Structure 1
Amino acid sequence: MFRRLLSGLLDRSDATNSPDQQETISDSDNFDRYLDARDNWQFERIDEYEFEHYTDAIERIKQLKRERRHDEVEDLLLWCIDFAENEVAAYGWDTVPPAYYRHLAIVYRKDDRNDDEVAILERYIDQGGEMEGMISRLERARELNAIEQSGE
């Protein structure tokens, strides 16, 4: 039943789109290949941490930040971000979860790593992120970076 429902959702046409704008999976063979690829996807670097999914790491991230173990939390956050970006690409979702980028941006700001803060926030935007708080944080990070570059 789920397969039929999902198939119906993917096959429906939107009258406002031209045929070349529509992304549909019209036959069962293509749909089955899509499901197989999705179901068989696995993050290549899964064995680097003990977590089965990046969402399982959030408490560890918070703990490392509280303990000011920034090198360790940076590595873990980058792993989570890579995992999330790969998952979003594999499943065809629209955007990545902002929390991991935000946590890393906070770490970078605390360590006065303005270039890195700007880079991680731009990476979030490049991945389709549109959260207003992240955009304003990026603007502020750019301002701080400009001040640092000018030597003020």
Structure 2
Amino acid sequence: MKTKIAVALAALALTGCMSAEKQAEKDNAFSRAENNLDTAQRNATVECRDEAQCNKAWALTKRYIEQNTSTSVIRADEVAIESDVPTRSGKPVYSATRIRKGSGATITLDAQCRGMYGPDRSQGGDYDDCVEKIVPTQNKFRAFLTTHLSDN
């Protein structure tokens, strides 16, 4: 009987260790994904030098959002572009801001997904799928603008 109890306790202890290891792996993956999102956000910030270039970059930003969102653009003015919130979770919402600086501006493409985060900014059920959609889209934004701005 003592042997059975010892074996059961050892198995229980191993299960606890495995759960702790799995939780640590999950926490590390979440931390890496958050770092990737932060990097992508920095990559999705572009400076334009003058009004003509900024106006073209802003029009291109709207086009980029339209090409990458599953919903329609519901606001597009001189300072913000926003796509509508999707009805289903796991779909990205893109928006952009334009902050004037002298004769130029800073344009930033923002993104988030419905269902991406839970309470207290914890990992939501659609987090991994959202990261897979948002990171490449934000990382390609600068190249999209650069390519199309140099076409003229």
TM range (shorter): under 0.3
Between structures 1 and 2, the one with greater helix share = 1
Between structures 1 and 2, the one with greater strand share = 2
Flag the structure with larger Rg.
2
| Higher relative contact order, structure no. (Cα contacts within 8 Å, ≥ 6 residues apart) | 2
